Amino acid sequence: MMKLGEKIKALRKQKNISQEVFAGYLGVSFQAVSKWENGNTMPDVTMIPAIASFFGVSTDELFDFNLFEMEKQVEAICHEAYKYRFTDREKSERILRDGLQRFPGNDIILNNLLYTLDYQTRGEEVITLCKTLIESTKDDSVKYDACRILASCYKENGQNDLIKPTLEIIPEIYFSKLELMASLLDGDDSYEAAQKQKNISAEDLIDMLIIAGKRLKETGETEKAYSQFRIAQKVMNAFAEDFVEERWFESTVYECTSEQRKEVERLLAE
């Protein structure tokens, strides 16, 4: 039977990842990884879930640990942090940092952590974390979300020449999983997907209307610009009548778009 260190080395080689990258993902030194692989030391038992997650294998192959239980715990950590994402970012970050103490280098927790970091004051940290996830994760949803956040951070910090190459990593998508689930499933499964896609689509529509309006205003097509702003305003106001589906959300689209409402009011007043 292959020893733990040998298995880690084989999986790392298979993934074509250096000891330095693997160590950075786990938050340890590359010397520590080298010692594991040489059989001189063993990784702490609390790191086994993160190691298994990194390589996309069952933890049972590495250690006696229930992967399903780990995923449930990670989901619970991220759900708790999400409650404070829009109202108390510092608290949300603390919850996720505590989670990383239990599950070092976990992709899902790190992806959620990006949502708590300010692009301007902590831009370097955001960029480093995004690049690490893009290079190392086996979860496409995490990889492409990291690309999106990285491009947004570049935009915020005036690194415009890096935006397009980053976005080109993301494949074009013509339909989403949630759309198909809402349309093709039944009952609660369809309802949950519809609620989630509704909020995503509404926020995207509002953002696109504002962006289109700004460009039209820049080119002197003022009436067309104002039409886009008014539509965005009507969409946001319509969601004032919506309710919070507390199984999945903490607030409505109307509550989440308070900054966009202020921006549209300002644009219409100019």
Q: What is the pLDDT of residues 130-141, one digit of tens each?
A: 999 999 888 899
Domain 4-65 adopts which CATH fold? 434 Repressor (Amino-terminal Domain) (1.10.260)
The pLDDT value given to residue 2 = 52
The pLDDT value given to residue 66 = 53
Provide CB contacts within 8 A for 84, sequence distance 6+. 91, 92, 95
Sign of the torsion angle spanned by Cα atoms 154, 28, 95, 134:
positive
Q: What six digits make up the tokens of 266? A: 């300002």
Q: What is the pLDDT of residues 7-57, one digit of tens each?
A: 888 888 888 889 999 999 899 999 999 988 888 877 877 788 888 888 888
Give burial (CB, 10 Å; 0-12/13-18/19+) of 82. Answer: middle
Sign of the torsion angle spanned by Cα atoms 159, 165, 170, 174:
positive
| pTM, full prediction | 0.61
Question: Which CATH number describes the domain made up of 177-269?
Answer: 1.20.58
Domain boundaries, the chain: 4-65, 177-269
What band does 1 get if pLDDT is binned at 50, 70 and 90?
A: very low
Q: What six digits make up the tokens of 112? A: 């959620």
